[in-house]
Amino acid sequence: MTALLLLAANVAVYAAFAASGGGLVTADSQMLIRWGSNFGPYTADGQWWRLLSAAFLHGGLVHLAVNMLLLADVGRLCERLFGWRRFLLLYLLSGLAGSAASVWWNPQVNSVGASGALFGVLGAVFVYMMDRRNGIEPGIMRTHAASMAIFIAYGVVNGLVSTRIDNAAHLGGLAAGAILGFALGRPPGPARVEPLRMAAGIAACVIAIAGLLALTPNTRAGFEAERQFQDALKAFSKEEERLVASLRSVIAKAQAPGARGTELKPEGVALAIGWEAQRQRFAALPVGPESKLHVLHQDMVAYTASRHRAMGELVRAFEDQEDGRARVREFNRLMKEGDAIVERIRQRNSKDAKG
pLDDT tens sequence across 260-286: 777 888 999 999 999 999 999 999 999
Rounded to 5 degrees, φ, ψ at 323 are: -100, 15
Looking at residue 77, its pLDDT comes to 87
> Which CATH number describes the domain made up of 2-215?
1.20.1540.10
**HEC-encoded secondary structure of 179-206:** HHHHHHCCCCCCCCCCHHHHHHHHHHHH
pLDDT value for 141: 60
- Please state which of the ranges 35-49, 186-200, 262-276 shows the lowest mean pLDDT: 186-200
Q: What percent of the chain has pLDDT over 70?
A: 88
Q: Which of 170, 291, 297, 308 is catalytic?
A: 170
Does the structure show a pLDDT above 90 at 256? no
What one-character DSSP code corresponds to residue 321?
S
Higher pLDDT, 324 or 94: 94
Q: At what angle do helices 167-184 and 138-161 cross, to 10 degrees?
A: 160
Q: How far is the C-alpha of 297 from the C-alpha of 142, rounded, in Å?
A: 58
- Helix orientation angle between 167-184 and 115-130, rounded to the nearest 10 degrees: 40
Higher-scoring residue by pLDDT: 201, 322: 201
Q: What is the mean pLDDT of residues 230-251?
A: 94
How open is the CA angle 116-117-119, to the nearest 5 degrees? 65
Domain ranges of the chain: 2-215, 220-354
Q: Which of 280, 272, 273 is nearest to 232 (CA)?
A: 280
What is the distance of C-alpha 195 from the center of its chain?
40
Dist CA 40 CA 186 (whole Å): 37
pLDDT digits (tens, 9 = 90+) for 111-126: 999 999 999 999 998 8
Q: Which of 97, 95, 101 is nearest to 40 (CA)?
A: 101
Question: pLDDT band at residue 138, thresholds of 50, 70 and 90?
Answer: low
> Which residue among 53, 99, 111, 115 is the active-site one?
115
What does the pLDDT average to over 201-208?
A: 96
Report the pLDDT value the prediction gives residue 189, as an integer from 0 to 100: 63
**Over the stretch 141-190, which tens digit does the pLDDT of each residue have?**
666 666 667 667 766 676 666 566 788 999 999 999 999 999 998 776 66
pLDDT tops 90 at residue 19: yes
- pTM assigned to the model: 0.80
> How far apart are the C-alpha atoms of 80 and 300, rounded to whole Å?
61
Q: What is the pLDDT confidence band of residue 140, given thresholds at 50, 70 and 90? A: low
Which residues pair with residue 26 across a beta bridge? 60
Gyration radius of the chain over CA positions: 30
pLDDT given at position 270: 94
With a CB cutoff of 8 Å and minimum separation 6, the contacts of 262 are 318, 319
Q: What is the mean pLDDT of the chain?
A: 89
How many Cβ atoms from other residues are within 10 Å of residue 16's Cβ?
11
Residue 25 to residue 13: CA distance in whole angstroms = 14
Active site residue 99: no
pLDDT value at 75 more than 70:
yes
Q: Given this model, what pLDDT does residue 131 score? A: 76
Q: Bigger pLDDT: 195 or 274?
A: 274
For 10, 49, 114, 170, 312, the CA distances from 53, given in Å and listed in that order, are: 10, 6, 10, 16, 55
Strand pairing partners for 111? 38
Q: What are 300-355's pLDDT values in tens digits?
A: 999 999 999 999 998 888 887 666 788 889 999 999 999 999 999 999 988 877 65
Examine the residue annotation and report whether 308 is marked as an active-site residue of this protein. Answer: no
What pLDDT, on the 0 to 100 scale, is given for residue 299?
96
Element of type H or E holding 39? strand 38-39
- Spatial CB neighbours of 344, under 8 Å, sequence gap ≥ 6: 299
Q: Is the pLDDT of residue 106 over 60?
A: yes
At 110, is the secondary structure helix, strand, or coil?
strand
Q: Which amino acid is present at 192? A: R
Q: In this structure, what is the dihedral angle of CA atoms 89, 94, 96, 101, given to the nearest 10 degrees?
A: 160
pLDDT value at residue 100? 97
Q: Longest Cα pair distance anywhere in the chain, in angstroms?
A: 106
Lowest mean pLDDT: which of 85-89, 105-109, 130-134, 231-235?
130-134
